[in-house]
Amino acid sequence: MTSDHGSASMAGMTGHDAADIDRHVRIYITVFVTLMVLTFITVAVSYLHLSVPMAVTVALLVATIKGTLVACYFMHLVSEKKLIYAVLALTVVFFAVLLALPTLTHRNGFWIHEPHPPASSSPGTGH
């Protein structure tokens, strides 16, 4: 199968010019290198044995930066239509509620009264 389909170029038909695509490709390579560097930073930081709150903050911060790069450039969210942004804004709201629910239910006296486990129990390895 060849690329010749007897019509105008793909880039032209989809509203992009060739220079536009070349610029995109350069961005993809830059983002790839950045993601690699951030992956090594994530792993390197884990060997520093930071306190749990600090480790969680750093790991999630780096993961968020990486996720944003993937979403913005590989998924083309930097130049998307308003309707997609609206769908995603709604998703973000529901996602935030979803993640907030465990925190709210965990708070003692709010929704659920937290049981006091016996001192010898080890829930991390329990069923």
Partner 1 sequence: MDIPYTVEVRRDTGLTNGKIGIWLFLASEVMLFGALFASYILIRVGATSWPRGAEHLNVPLATFNTIVLIASSVTMVMAWASLMRDRFGTFRLYMGATILLGFVFLIVKYFEYTAKFEHHLYPSTNNFFAIYFTLTGLHMLHVAGGMAVNAYFWGPGAKLWKTNPVWFTNRVEHSGLFWHFVDLVWIFLFPTLYLL
Binding site for partner 1 (CB under 8 A): 1-3, 5, 7, 9-11, 13-14, 16, 18, 21, 24-25, 28-29, 31-32, 35-36, 39, 42-43, 46, 52, 55-56, 59-60, 62-63, 66-67, 70-71, 74-75, 81-84, 87-88, 90-91, 94-95, 98-99, 101-103, 105-106, 114, 117, 121-127
- Cβ 82 to partner 1, closest distance in Å? 7
Query: By CB neighbour count within 10 A (0-12 exposed, 13-18 middle, 19+ buried), where does 50 fall?
Result: middle
- Alpha-helical (H) ranges within 1-127 are 10-13, 18-46, 52-69, 82-106
